[in-house]
Structure 1
Amino acid sequence: MSQFWKPGAEKPRLLDDEEGGVVFLSSSLSSASSIGYGYASIEKQRQRLPVYKYRTAILYLVETHATTIIVGETGSGKTTQIPQYLKEAGWADGGRVIACTQPRRLAVQAVASRVAEEMGVKVGEEVGYTIRFEDFTNKDLTAIKFLTDGVLLREMMDDPLLTKYSVIMVDEAHERSISTDILLGLLKKIQRCRSDLRLIISSATIEAKSMSAFFHARKGRRGLEGVELVPRLEPAILSVEGRGFNVQIHYVEEPVSDYVQAAVSTVLLIHDKEPPGDILVFLTGQDDIDATIQLLTEEARTSKKNSSGLIILPLYSGLSRAEQEQVFSPTPRGKRKVVISTNIAETSLTLEGIVYVVDSGFSKQRFYNPISDIENLVVAPISKASARQRAGRAGRVRPGKCYRLYTEEYFVKEIPAEGIPEMQRSNLVSCVIQLKALGIDNILGFDWPASPPPEAMIRALEVLYSLGVLDDDAKLTSPTGFQVAEIPLEPMISKMILSSNELGCSEEIITISAVLSIQSIWVSGRGAQKELDEAKLRFAAAEGDHVTFLNIYKGFLQSCKSSHWCHKNFINYHAMKKVIEIREQLRRIAQRIGIVMKSCESDMQVSLLTLLLVCLERISTLYDFPKLMGTCMPSAGCSFVYHVTCSPVLCVCTGRFTDQ
C-alpha cells in the first residue's frame, strides 16, 4: 500500500529515484511499521482522506434523514470509507447488514478487497461481495456487503422489503444503468413501509437537486406537538471535496481521423517526453484495445528507444479476474505501466500510479430500436461528466495531465453535459419481468427517475406476451412466467431452458446458456488472428454457434479441463472454468423449478434445431400481424398511438391486453 502526500499536511521528503523521477515519501512512513502495512499506517491514510472530516456530519444526516445524497468528488474516499463509518457507528449491530451497490462487477470486487484490507479481515467474512454467479459472503459474519445493483434487485424477489439491510448505499448513481434506475424507484417504495431504512445516494457528478426532488415525493410527517418526526423525509445533500491534484487539460488542434492511432502516438510521445508516471488510455472496447496493444507492441520491437520500458495491460469486463488484477500491481522501478481500458476505469477503481490520461472521447453504448426490435452497441461521444471523470483519474497521485483526442471547441459546443440514461436507450424485456416478479403490475405507471420510451416499454410487454410469460392481464403466467423470472438470465434464454425440458435436451441447453452468460470464451488474437480463426474452425458446426459452444465444452471436459489445451486452441481457460461454475448453478436452479435433466445425445442436432424453430415460431407471430394499439375509451386522454405487433391489442390506459 503506497503512501501519498496530501496538500496542507506536513511536507514530505522528496527522493530522486534511480530513473531521475521523484518519489513522494509520506512523513508518516517513519512512524509506520517497517513493512508499511501496519494498522497505524492504514488508519493514518484513512484520516487523510477528504471525507474523514465529514464523518460526524454524514452519520448525523444518516441518522436524521431517510435519504442522504452525497456529492463526493473523485478521490474523496466516499466509496471505501462511508460503509466503514456506518459500521463503526453501530448500523451493522444485531445482525444487520450495510449494503453498497456498484454498477460494475469489477468495481464490486476491487472495492470489497480494499475495504477488507483496511479493516484487516478477509473478503467473505466481515466484508463480502456478491455479483451474478459469485457470492463471497457469510450470513453470520458479513456486516458490509458490496454488490451490483442487479444482484440487489434479485434479492428483492425473496425479501421484497430488504429487511436485513439497515443502510443501502447506491454508489456511482450518475451512471444511470437500468438496474440503478429500477433500484432507485423500488427503494423509494420500500421507504414508505420501512421508516428504519436509510438510503445514501452517492456520486461525483450526480444532479443532486433532481435526485432530491425524486425522493422528496411527500411532505414530512409531524408529531402531536408539531415537531417533525425522525427520520425526515426531505433528503439531505452533502458535498465533499476531492483529494485530486491539479490536472492540465490538453486538446488536439485539429480533429483526428483515427483515434486508435492517435492514442498510440500520444502514449509514445508521453513516454518519450514526460517524467515517470503511469498512463491510462480510454478506448471503446476490446477490439480497439487489442489493436492499440498490437500497435504499441510492434513499436516496442521496431523502436526500442521510444517504447522500451512500457508495460502494456488491457482492462475490460471480459478479462479474467487474474488479468484484471494485474493493473493494480505496483509498477516496477524503471518501467512505465500503460493501462488500455474501456470506461470501466472511469469510476470507483483507483489505479494509484496513473499520472497521464489519454481520452479518446468515445465509448460503446447500447442503443435499442423498439420498432425493429434490434439492439446495437454503438460507438458514441461521451458526455462532459464522463470527460471530467476520466481527467480526474490523472490527479490521484500528483499533478497530472489529460490529453483529449478532440478539440476544445468540440468539447465546449458539441459534447452533451450528461449522458442519456441507459433506461432510455435499451431493451426493457428483462427490466419488465423483474418488476412483474416483484409485484409491480402497473409498469406504465411505475415511478421512474427517468421515464423510459413508451415504444420500448410496449415492445417489452409484447415480447413477454408472445413467450407465454405474461397473460391477457399482463401478469406473470403460472408456472412459466414465475419460472422464467427465477432464472437469472435474459428471458429469451430462460424460456429456452424451460422449453428444453419438453424436448429432452436440457443438459445441452444449460451448457449453451452458461457459455452465453460469458462475454467471450475466446482469447483475443493479438497479432495471431489467422491462428485464432483456424482454432475456431476446429470446433465449428454447420448448425451454428450454439452447437459450436457445445463442441468446445465437450473438448474442454475431455482434456480434463487442461489449461494447456485452452492455450493451444485460443480459448480463455478462466472463462471455461467460469462456464462450469455457472452451469452447475443453473443446473441447481433448473432442478429446483422442476426441470428434468436429460441429454438428447445422438438426437442433439434434431432437438436443438427443433427448439430454435419453436422459439422462432413464437416470436415470428410478433411481426406478422401488425395492429394498432388502442385505448379503453377515446376520452381517456391517451393521445399516444403506436403500431403493435401482437394480438390481442395492448391498451395504454391499463397496461393490459384486450381483444379490442
Structure 2
Amino acid sequence: MPRDPDPPPAKRFKPGSPFFRLDKKKPGMLLPRAGHAAVGVDTQRKQLPIYQSRTQLINQIRQLHNAVFIGETGSGKTTQIPQYLYEAGIGRQGIIGITQPRRVAAISLAARVAEEKKVQLGKLVGYTVRFEDVTSSETKLKFMTDGMLLREAIGDPLLLRYTVVILDEAHERTVHTDVLFGVVKAAQRKRTEQNKIPLKVVVMSATMDVDLFSQYFNKSPVLYLEGRQHPIQIYYTKQSQSDYLQAALVSIFQIHQEAPASHDILVFMTGQEEIEALARTCRDISKHLPESCGPMTVVPLYASLPPAQQLRVFQPAPKGSRKVVLSTNIAETSITISGIKYVIDTGMVKAKRYNPGSGLEVLAVQRVSKAQAWQRSGRAGREDAGSCYRLYTEEEFDNLANMTVPEIQRYGPHTVCRVCSSASAQTLLISPEFSCAEEVLTIISLLSVDSVLYNPPARRDDVLAVRKKFISSEGDHMTLLNIYRAFKKVSGNKMNMKLESSLSDLTNVRRCLAHGLFMNAAELQPDGSYVALDTHQHVAIHPSSVLFQAKPACVLFSELLHTSRCYMRDLCLVDADWLQEAAPEYFRRKLRATKS
C-alpha cells in the first residue's frame, strides 16, 4: 500500500468534517447504559443485559425441547446461557455443548467462562478444536467448533454424551452449522423414539431474521432479549469511497492522533494480503509521527494464522501504546477483544461461491450484508461506549442485502467431507494397485485440511529458504509428502488396506494420482497458457505452487480457485499417457467433442 506522509493521512478527515457524518436516525443504535469501570468478574456478569432476564429465561428453557434465542452483540448470551443452564441443573446428566464457527472463539470463550466459574480450564469448563482437546472427565461445559461436533456425530449419531447442544452464531449460516441442524434434529428425534435421555437444542443468533430456525425446529418459541450493554455511535462517509484501503488508513491515523492511547481500534479487512500490507504501512507511518501521538501496536488476525498468533489479539498492548487489530470477518462474532473502542468497517468481505457448471470456487471481494454490518459495529460496545466508522455512505448501507447468503448455497458439495470427494476416494482405493497407499493416504489427508504451510510476510526469505529443502520438481503433492515425511512417519491404517510404500520412487504415486484425478488435468497450450481438459476452461498455475516458474506439458490439480484469474492449486506433474491409460473412453469422448 502506498504511503502518503505529506500531509499526514490522519489530518485529512475528521469525524466532524465532510468525511464522516453521525447517524442519529437508525433505531436501536444508541442504547442508554452505564459506562464500564474496572470491576470484578461477578459484578461484570450482573451488569450484562441478560442478567435481568435470568430467572425467566431459565424457566422458559426448562420447559422447552427446542428454543431459538435472540440477543444483541454484547448482551452476554454466549457466555451466560451455558452457565445459567448448568447452575439451574438443566442438562447436568451429561455435557452442555456449545458450538462456535471458529476455533479462536471457542478457545477464548472457554477461557472466559472458566475465569467466571473460577475453575481451571479443562476441568468443569473445556474446549475442543482441531488438534487440541482441553477437556476431561469432569467437563460439563464444553465449547467446540461446529466441525468437531460433526466429527463426534460420525461415531455417535445420537450424541449421547450431550444433554444440551447450543448452536451459537447460527445467523452466520456456515456449512457446518447448517449440517449440524439436521444432525441434532435427527438425534433429538431418535433419542425420544428410543426412550433415551432427551436432547435439548438451543439455537442462538444475533439477528432478528430467525423464522427459518424456528420453523425447522418444529416451530419452537423464539426468546428475545432487548438491550446492548453499551451505546455505540455510527458514522457514515459523506461520499462513496473509491479506495476503501486508503480510507481505512486515513481513519486509523485520524483516531490515533486524537483519541487516548488506551482506546484500541479494530479494522475489518478482506484477507491476509490486504491485512499484512496495511500492517506494514501503519507500522511505517507510526514511526514518523510526533511523539505526542504515542506508539502503535499493529496485530493481524485471519484464519490461516497459526493458533498462537491468533491469540495475540487478546494480549494488551504495551503501556502507552495503542493496539490496532486488522482482521477479516473472523472477529465479527463471539470473541471480545479487550480495549476495543473504535471499529472501522470497510464494508467489504472476501467470500467463496461455487459454480456447479464449471466446478469452480470463485473467491471474490464483495459487499457485506446489513446483518454483517451490525455485527461489526457491535464489536465497539463490548466493554464501554464506542464508535463505528463505516467507510461507505448511508445510502450504500440501505442498499446492502439484509442477510448473507448461507455458505451451503455458495460452497461446493465437497466442503463438509473433503476427503470423501469422488476423485479423492477413487485415488485412495486404487493406490494399492500402484504400491503407494501410504503416500496417497498421506497426500489426501494433507489436502483435506487448510494449508499446512504458514507464510509470515515478515520472514518471507527465511520461509522460502527452509521450504527449498522439501520442494519437489514433480509438484506440490510430492512437496507435501516430503514435508510430512520429515515431520512424522505415517501410522495407523484405514479400511484394512495394505499400506505398502513406494519409498523413494514417486513415479507410482504420480501415476496413481493420475488414475484418480484424471478429470482434474490441464494441458499446456502453444501460447504458454493452460486449458483444463474436462471443462476447456483457461486456467493458470497459482503463484504459491512450486511449479509456478515451470511450464510442464501436463499437470493435475486438486482445486480451481477464481480470483483475478482462474488458478490451479496443489499441482502434480504427470505424463499425458497415464491419463489415457486411466480413462481411455473418457478421453475419447472429450476428443470427439472437441473435434465436433
For the superposition of Structure 1 and Structure 2, which TM-score range results when normalised by the shorter chain?
0.7 to 0.9
Matched letter for residue 162 of structure 2: Y
What stretches of structure 1 of length at least 5 have no aligned partner?
1-5, 12-23, 30-40, 217-233, 435-483, 558-579, 627-646, 649-660
Q: Which residue of 1 aligns with 2:158?
A: 161
CA distance change for structure 1 residues 136 and 316 in 2, over 3 Å: closer, same or farther? same
- The CA distance in 2 between the partners of 1:592 and 1:625, in whole Å, is 33
Give, in angstroms, the shift of residue 46 of structure 1: 1.7
Matched letter for residue 63 of structure 1: R
- The CA distance in 2 between the partners of 1:352 and 1:318, in whole Å, is 22
Partner residue of 1:594 out of 496, 506, 509: 496
- The CA distance in 1 between the partners of 2:292 and 2:411, in whole Å, is 43
CA distance change for structure 1 residues 511 and 302 in 2, over 3 Å: closer, same or farther? farther
Q: Which residue of 2 aligns with 1:105?
A: 103
CA distance change for structure 1 residues 270 and 625 in 2, over 3 Å: closer, same or farther? closer
Structure with the bigger RCO (C-alpha within 8 Å, sep 6+) is 2
Q: Which residue of 2 aligns with 1:85?
A: 84
Q: Which residue of 2 aligns with 1:429?
A: 414
Contact 1:299 1:307 in 2 (8 A): no
CA distance change for structure 1 residues 602 and 185 in 2, over 3 Å: closer, same or farther? closer
- The CA distance in 1 between the partners of 2:517 and 2:32, in whole Å, is 63
Matched letter for residue 80 of structure 2: Q
* TM-score, reference length from structure 2: 0.76
1:324 aligns with 2:310: yes
Give, in angstroms, the shift of residue 305 of structure 1: 4.7
**1:85-234 pair list within 5 angstroms:** 85-94=84-93, 96-138=94-136, 140-195=137-192, 196-216=198-218, 234=219
What stretches of structure 2 of length at least 5 have no aligned partner?
1-30, 193-197, 522-531, 537-584, 587-596
Give, in angstroms, the shift of residue 143 of structure 1: 0.9
Give, in angstroms, the shift of residue 339 of structure 1: 0.5
Tell me, what secondary structure is at the counterpart of 2:160?
Answer: coil
Give, in angstroms, the shift of residue 536 of structure 1: 4.9
Tell me, what secondary structure is at the counterpart of 2:203?
Answer: strand
Partner residue of 1:251 out of 203, 213, 236: 236
Contact 1:282 1:342 in 2 (8 A): yes
Matched letter for residue 236 of structure 2: Y
Matched letter for residue 346 of structure 2: S
Tell me, what secondary structure is at the counterpart of 2:68?
Answer: strand
1:549 aligns with 2:548: no
Give, in angstroms, the shift of residue 507 of structure 1: 3.8
CA distance change for structure 1 residues 501 and 119 in 2, over 3 Å: closer, same or farther? farther
CA distance change for structure 1 residues 326 and 624 in 2, over 3 Å: closer, same or farther? closer
CA offsets 1:609-657 (integer angstroms, 9 cap, x no match): 112211223667x98699xxxxxxxxxxxxxxxxxxxx99xxxxxxxxx
Give, in angstroms, the shift of residue 510 of structure 1: 4.4
CA distance change for structure 1 residues 296 and 125 in 2, over 3 Å: closer, same or farther? same
Contact 2:233 2:388 in 1 (8 A): yes
Q: Which residue of 2 aligns with 1:524?
A: 456
- The CA distance in 2 between the partners of 1:492 and 1:430, in whole Å, is 14
- The CA distance in 2 between the partners of 1:417 and 1:269, in whole Å, is 30
Partner residue of 1:420 out of 392, 399, 405: 405
Give, in angstroms, the shift of residue 194 of structure 1: 3.3
Q: Which residue of 2 aligns with 1:357?
A: 343
Tell me, what secondary structure is at the counterpart of 2:505?
Answer: helix
Contact 2:313 2:325 in 1 (8 A): yes
- The CA distance in 2 between the partners of 1:624 and 1:613, in whole Å, is 14
Tell me, what secondary structure is at the counterpart of 1:290?
Answer: helix
Aligned length: 492
CA distance change for structure 1 residues 531 and 412 in 2, over 3 Å: closer, same or farther? same
CA offsets 1:122-148 (integer angstroms, 9 cap, x no match): 23222222223332222x322111122
Q: Which residue of 2 aligns with 1:463?
A: none
Contact 2:427 2:515 in 1 (8 A): no
- The CA distance in 1 between the partners of 2:497 and 2:91, in whole Å, is 39
Give, in angstroms, the shift of residue 400 of structure 1: 1.5
CA distance change for structure 1 residues 366 and 307 in 2, over 3 Å: closer, same or farther? farther
Matched letter for residue 344 of structure 2: V
Tell me, what secondary structure is at the counterpart of 2:299?
Answer: strand
Q: Which residue of 2 aligns with 1:406?
A: 392
Matched letter for residue 100 of structure 1: I
- The CA distance in 2 between the partners of 1:510 and 1:181, in whole Å, is 29
1:46 aligns with 2:45: yes
Contact 1:279 1:358 in 2 (8 A): yes
Give, in angstroms, the shift of residue 49 of structure 1: 1.5
Give, in angstroms, the shift of residue 521 of structure 1: 1.4
Contact 2:519 2:534 in 1 (8 A): no
- The CA distance in 2 between the partners of 1:242 and 1:506, in whole Å, is 57
CA distance change for structure 1 residues 89 and 499 in 2, over 3 Å: closer, same or farther? farther
CA offsets 1:223-274 (integer angstroms, 9 cap, x no match): xxxxxxxxxxx41211113433222222223332332232122111110122
CA offsets 1:21-48 (integer angstroms, 9 cap, x no match): xxx644xx5xxxxxxxxxxx33222222
Tell me, what secondary structure is at the counterpart of 1:602?
Answer: coil
- The CA distance in 1 between the partners of 2:513 and 2:114, in whole Å, is 46
**1:560-579 pair list within 5 angstroms:** none
Partner residue of 2:508 out of 604, 607, 610: 607
* Worse overlay, 174-183 or 42-51: 42-51
CA offsets 1:521-570 (integer angstroms, 9 cap, x no match): 132224x656655665554322111222334445x55xxxxxxxxxxxxx
- The CA distance in 2 between the partners of 1:178 and 1:295, in whole Å, is 35
* Worse overlay, 260-269 or 282-291: 260-269
Q: CA RMSD in A?
A: 3.0
- The CA distance in 1 between the partners of 2:422 and 2:336, in whole Å, is 35
CA distance change for structure 1 residues 536 and 259 in 2, over 3 Å: closer, same or farther? farther
**1:381-392 pair list within 5 angstroms:** 381-392=367-378
Matched letter for residue 370 of structure 1: P
Tell me, what secondary structure is at the counterpart of 2:334?
Answer: coil
Contact 2:33 2:230 in 1 (8 A): no
Contact 2:92 2:163 in 1 (8 A): no
Tell me, what secondary structure is at the counterpart of 2:116?
Answer: helix
**1:364-379 pair list within 5 angstroms:** 364-379=350-365
CA distance change for structure 1 residues 266 and 305 in 2, over 3 Å: closer, same or farther? farther
Q: Which residue of 1 aligns with 2:556?
A: none
- Identity percentage over the alignment? 41
Matched letter for residue 549 of structure 1: L
Contact 1:362 1:382 in 2 (8 A): yes
Contact 1:496 1:509 in 2 (8 A): yes
CA distance change for structure 1 residues 430 and 256 in 2, over 3 Å: closer, same or farther? closer
Contact 2:296 2:321 in 1 (8 A): yes
Tell me, what secondary structure is at the counterpart of 1:601?
Answer: coil
- The CA distance in 1 between the partners of 2:360 and 2:317, in whole Å, is 43
